[in-house]
Amino acid sequence: MFHSKNKKFMKYLKIISIFLLMGVFSSCSKSFLEIDPKGRIIATQTNDYRNLFYNGTLLSLGTADMQILLGDEVVAQSAVLNSMSQGVQQAFRWADDLYDDATDAPELTNVTAQIYVLNKIINEVMESERGTEAEKQALRAEARATRAWSYFQFISLYGKPYDPATAATDPGVPIILDADVTATTFTRASVQEVYDFIIKDITESLPLLPRNNDARSRMSQAGAEILLGKVYMFMGKFDQALPLLESAFNHLPNGTLPVGLYDYNTLLAPGGAWYFAPTVSYYIGAPLPWASTETLFARQFSSQYQYQHGVLLLKKEAYELYGNNDKRKLFYTRTPAYSSYGTQLTVPGAMRKFAPSAAVAIGISMPELYLLRAECYARTGALSAAKADLKTLRSKRMPDADAEVTITDKNALIRFVIDERIREFAFTGLRWFDMRRLSVDPLFAAQTYEHIVYGPDGNEVERLPLRKERFTLRFPLKVMLQNPGMTNNP
C-alpha cells in the first residue's frame, strides 16, 4: 500500500487550472495545496489523450530553476545576490524556508501540474472512444513511465536522500493517483513507498513503450530504461542499474528522431555550426532541448542564471576541473553581464555562464547515459568499460589526445566520473541531485559543501555551510499555513 496511514499530508488539494483547446492546453497553478479549478481537461477520444502529451505543462517546469541555486558549483556576488527575490537569496543560503507565506514554489506547483495531466491519461484513456485496445494500453503505459519522471523529481526535492536503513520510515511525498480537483485528503507516503511506486510505474510500462516516438518530449523504451537505472543508482543499487543502462543502448531510437553526441570540436570551432565569437562572448546555433540530438526525453525549465546576466558564477574550483583544451570552457566567460543586475565580475577565478537560450535541459540525455553507465561500471569494478564510456563522451568535448582516462584505482575513477558530471552539467541543477545522493554514499559521506558570497572588491563576505537537514527542502510556508496539522520536514 502506497499511502501512509499515520501522517496527514494536507487538508485539501485543488490541483491545477487547465484549459483544453483543439488538443493543446496550458495550465496556471497558484499552489500545490490551493488552486482554483477554473477549468477541466475535456477529452473523450483516444486521440484527445494522445494530444495531451504535446503540451507545455509536461515539457517544461517553467521558471522552476531553484535547484541551480542549490548546487555547490556556483558562487555569488553580494550586490547582485542582494538585489534578487527573497526566494533566490534564501535558496542560495540553503535557508530553512525559501518563500514567504504568500508565495508559491514553482518547483512544487509545476511538478504536481504534470502529475495531474498524467493521471488524467492513466485513469481515463482505456475508456476513450475511437482507439484500439493496443493504442490505449500504449498511451497509458507512456503516461505511467512519464509520471515516474515527475515523481522522481518530486521526491528528490521533498523527501530525504534514499537511505535503505531509514527509507521505510522517512516521510516522502503524497502519491496522488487521481486527476480530481475536488480531492481533499492526502497522506505523505514514505520515501521507500515513493521509490517502489516509481519502480512499479516504469517496470510495468516498459514492455508497452515504443523504441521510437514522434517527439523527443515523449517517453521511449530507452528513456524509461535509463530513468529506472538512474532510480536504482540513487538507491545505491548499481548492480541492478547497470543491466538497464546497457539495455538502453540496444534500444536507442533509430527512426526519424535519432540520438547521439554532438562533437564540440567541430561545432564550437571557428566557423562551426554553433557559431562562437570570443570577442563578444556568446554563441548561437545550439538547439533547444526538445530539438537536440542529445535528448532522449525532453524536459526543461527556464533559467535566469545564464544567457542574460550573472547572478551566479561558476566557482574557481569548478572551472579548474576543465582541461586546457576542453571545449566546454567556451560556455563560460569573464566578460561582465550587461543587464539591470549590474556589470561587475570581480570574483577571483569565477566565470559567468552564457548560452544561446534560457532553456535548460533536465530530462534524459545521451551524455548522462554515458556517465551513468560509466559510474556503474566503475562501481562494479569494470574499470576498462568505465574508461571507454568516459572517452566516448570526452572525445566529443575535446581533442582525442586529451580525452583518454588513465586512472587505475576504482575509487579515484568513481570520483573522476562525478567530476565529469560537474564538467558536463554545471548550471543545470543536476549537481544538487548528485550532492543529495552522495550524502549517503560511504565514499562521499564525509564531504562538506558550502556557498561563498563575494563583495564588490572580490573579497569573501560570507561562507555558507550546507547542513544535512537541507538536503531535503521544507514545504513552503504558504502550504503550512493552509494545513496547520501537517508535519513539515525538519
**Phi, psi angle pair for 259, to nearest 5°:** -125, 160
Is the whole model's pTM more than 0.85, yes or no?
Answer: yes
For residue 310, pLDDT over 80 is answered with: no
Q: pLDDT for 146-171, tens place per residue? A: 999 999 999 999 999 999 999 999 99
Cell 516516438 found at = 213
How sure is the predictor about 278, in pLDDT bands with cuts at 50, 70 and 90? low
Amino acid at 208: L
DSSP string, 228-291: HHHHHHHTT-HHHHHHHHHHHHHT---SSS------HHHHTSTT-SS-EETTTTEE--PPPGGG
Is there a contact between 358 and 308 (Cβ–Cβ < 8 Å)?
A: yes
> Phi and psi at residue 171, in whole multiples of 5°?
-70, 135
| Element (DSSP H or E) covering residue 385 | helix 383-394
pLDDT tens digit sequence for 432-478: 999 999 999 999 999 999 999 999 889 999 999 999 999 999 999 98
Q: Which residue has the cell 555569488?
A: 76
The pLDDT, as a whole number, for residue 69 is 96
What are the tens digits of pLDDT across the range 187-240? 789 999 999 999 999 999 999 999 999 999 999 999 999 999 999 999 999 999
CATH of domain 8-65+98-233+473-482: 1.25.40.390
Say what the pLDDT of residue 19 is.
28
Lowest mean pLDDT among 34-48, 353-367, 411-425, 456-470: 34-48
CB 290 within 8 A of CB 217: yes
Q: Which of the four pLDDT bands, split at 50, 70 and 90, describes residue 282?
A: low
- Which tops the pLDDT comparison, 381 or 41? 381
Between these two residues, 121 and 15, which has the higher pLDDT value? 121
In the structure, what pLDDT confidence band is assigned to residue 5 with cuts at 50, 70 and 90?
very low
Predicted confidence band of residue 1 (pLDDT cuts 50, 70, 90)? very low
pLDDT reported for residue 308: 57
Burial of 59 (0-12, 13-18, 19+ CB in 10 A): buried
Nearest to 77, CA basis, from 466, 423, 341 = 341
Give me the pLDDT at residue 304, please.
79
Q: Where in the chain are the domains?
A: 8-65+98-233+473-482
Percentage above 70 pLDDT, the chain = 85
Closest alpha carbon to 162 in 374, 475, 429, 472: 472
What mean pLDDT comes out for the span 371-380? 98
The Cα angle at residue 301 between residues 11 and 435, in degrees rounded to 5: 80
